[in-house]
Amino acid sequence: MKLCVIGTGYVGLVGAAIFSDWGNEVIGVDKDASKIERIKAGDMPIYEPGLSEIVLNNIKENRLTFTTSVADGIKDAEIVFVCVGTPQSETGAADLSAVWEVAEEIGKNLTGYKVIVTKSTVPVGTNEKVKTIIRANAKEGMEFDVASNPEFLREGSSVDDMKVPDRTVVGTETAKALEVMTRLYTHLGKPIVACDLRSAEMIKYASNGFLATKITFINEMAQLCERAGADVCTVAKGMGLDRRVGPAFLNAGIGYGGSCFPKDVAALYKTSTDQDYDFSLLRGVMEVNKAQKDHFVFKVTRLLGKNLSGKTLAVLGLAFKGDTDDIRESVSIEIVKLLRGMGAKLKVYDPEAMDNAKKVLGDVSVEYCKSSYETMEGADALFILTEWKEFSGIDLEKVKSLLKEPIIFDGRNMLDKEAVQKSGYTYFAIGKRTNGVEKIDSRKSDQRSAFLTNGNGH
Ligand SMILES: NC(=O)c1ccc[n+]([C@@H]2O[C@H](COP(=O)([O-])OP(=O)(O)OC[C@H]3O[C@@H](n4cnc5c(N)ncnc54)[C@H](O)[C@@H]3O)[C@@H](O)[C@H]2O)c1
């Protein structure tokens, strides 16, 4: 099939690569000319395991090309995928300006029947408006269909996720559009959830809202475990082995971040209030997620004090999760900013996100290191903030010889508590009590609210 993918970011570039790898002829379009030039030159603008090889191979096989022109991109395409960003706006709703812009351009350049598919995450009713915009800009009598085909890939494993999805959701209004979409995906042998446009749009938000709720549930359990003397990892293991619960998304930590969960939960909540319904569970999820980070920083202040001037802190992990260079809404970055705001000097390291982090953190009080161990030289404490696998294998004896004080704040429960404590560290994890440290009740403490209301940190 001939396909066009508009927006070559984390979703669009991976999508274009995989579609072409399936044997289709694909044109990727982006308005960012420098991005297109980089991709054409074989230099991937994002880090995603396995992506580069697939892109390069399909460029070589002439199945995958790139342009900045929507007109050129869509000319011969049977399906046009819209994969532009839909970030959070000030009201909490999704900012759909890029989607409207692309719909207008598609309309103006439509030369024959195509299925225009929104892959971007968009609120219920968006595809209907896309259709209206295309119709308003297209030549009279021009035939086209719209479809909703939300994407469920996870950064860090997006190549595999796209190749082998659990299911494909396709919302359409006509049998013709469904036939075209089915032709693209049927070879996967995976369920295709064929439905109406609005249900397809809602499935994406429902999925992300549910996953964010699952993470938040275990984070609340972590708070309770710390106070009650239980270990949240053991509790999660016991829960996850129940098939009705499942083990995924039960890792307690410093809260969810990234380019999807925060904005999608906020947008779903906004959809609910727009429909005169208060989705109070989601409201709670957003509140608890914010508090999770504050709780972590409060633990730091309990041990190191609120004034961190003169302290050097080693930070492992800046990306919002492991195996990606994406720092959008990264809780690690937020924590680094908070610690810096309290006077600390930070020595930071991330395997892939250093360049992106430099753009938002700058050079003030932040030193960018070349390895995990370099961050620790002369530091007063070690922080693990992103779950890169390599951090779980750090040599505890070596770490102790590099740090000034044997203190570890593990925001992702990467290390084995028994082993770390046996090595003589003061070890703070999430949802586990720290030996020798009195119970921390951050939610009740005046100290914490004073710290937060003073606006320290940013
Ligand atoms: N990143 C993920 O893990 C993920 C997963 C599932 C769904 N999604 C959704 O997919 C969508 C895209 O996310 P992303 O992370 O790939 O975003 P991104 O910011 O990485 O990529 C968006 C791309 O669109 C381009 N663009 C913007 N306006 C354009 C225009 N008018 N014409 C051509 N190109 C234009 C940008 O230059 C950019 O390269 C969002 O709605 C997101 O919620 C993302």
The CB of 177 under 6 Å from ligand 1? The reply is no
Identify whether the C-beta of residue 324 lies closer than 8 Å to the C-beta of residue 352: yes
The CB of 39 under 6 Å from ligand 1? The reply is no
SS3 2: strand
Which ligand 1 atom sits nearest the alpha carbon of residue 46? 20
The CB of 333 under 6 Å from ligand 1? The reply is no
Whose alpha carbon is nearest atom 19 of ligand 1?
Answer: 85
Whose alpha carbon is nearest atom 20 of ligand 1?
Answer: 9
Which ligand 1 atom sits nearest the alpha carbon of residue 12? 16
The CB of 219 under 6 Å from ligand 1? The reply is no
Backbone angles phi, psi at 113, to 5 degrees: -60, 135
CB burial class (10 A; 0-12, 13-18, 19+) of residue 445? Answer: middle
Q: Are residues 26 and 169 in the same domain?
A: yes
Domain harbouring 347, CATH code: 3.40.50.720
**CA-CA-CA-CA torsion sign (58, 79, 260, 22):** negative
Size of the chain in residues: 458
Percentage of the chain modeled with pLDDT above 70: 95
From the CA of 252, how far away is ligand 1's center (Å)? Answer: 28
From the CA of 48, how far away is ligand 1's center (Å)? Answer: 15
Tens-digit pLDDT profile for residues 108-148: 999 999 999 999 999 999 999 999 999 999 999 999 999 99
Q: Are residues 375 and 412 in the same domain?
A: yes
Tens-digit pLDDT profile for residues 153-211: 999 999 999 999 999 999 999 999 999 999 999 999 999 999 999 999 999 999 999 99
Question: Catalytic residue at 225?
Answer: no
Q: Are residues 146 and 174 in the same domain?
A: yes
At residue 439, does pLDDT exceed 60? no
Give the pLDDT band (50/70/90) at residue 433: confident
The CB of 35 under 6 Å from ligand 1? The reply is yes
Token couple for 428: 């703070």
Q: Are residues 159 and 293 in the same domain?
A: no
CA distance 15 to 18: 5
Q: Are residues 120 and 66 in the same domain?
A: yes
Q: Are residues 311 and 337 in the same domain?
A: yes
Average pLDDT over every residue of 381-400: 97
Range of the domain at 438: 196-458
Which ligand 1 atom sits nearest the alpha carbon of residue 121? 41
Q: Are residues 65 and 135 in the same domain?
A: yes
Backbone angles phi, psi at 390, to 5 degrees: -60, -25
CA distance 126 to 124: 6
Tens-digit pLDDT profile for residues 326-379: 999 999 999 999 999 999 999 999 999 999 999 999 999 999 999 999 999 999
Q: Are residues 120 and 191 in the same domain?
A: yes
Strands 79-82 and 115-118: parallel
Determine which one of 4, 83, 233, 260 is catalytic: 260
At residue 437, does pLDDT exceed 60? no
The CB of 18 under 6 Å from ligand 1? The reply is no
Q: How far apart are the first and last CA of the chain?
A: 50
pTM: 0.94
Q: Taking Cα atoms as reference points, which of 319, 371, 321, 365 lies closest to residue 343?
A: 365
* pLDDT on residue 455: 34
Q: Are residues 56 and 140 in the same domain?
A: yes
Q: Are residues 183 and 207 in the same domain?
A: no
The CB of 101 under 6 Å from ligand 1? The reply is yes
Which ligand 1 atom sits nearest the alpha carbon of residue 10? 16
SS3 content of the chain, % helix, strand, coil (to 5): 45, 15, 40
Q: Are residues 92 and 125 in the same domain?
A: yes
Q: Are residues 18 and 45 in the same domain?
A: yes
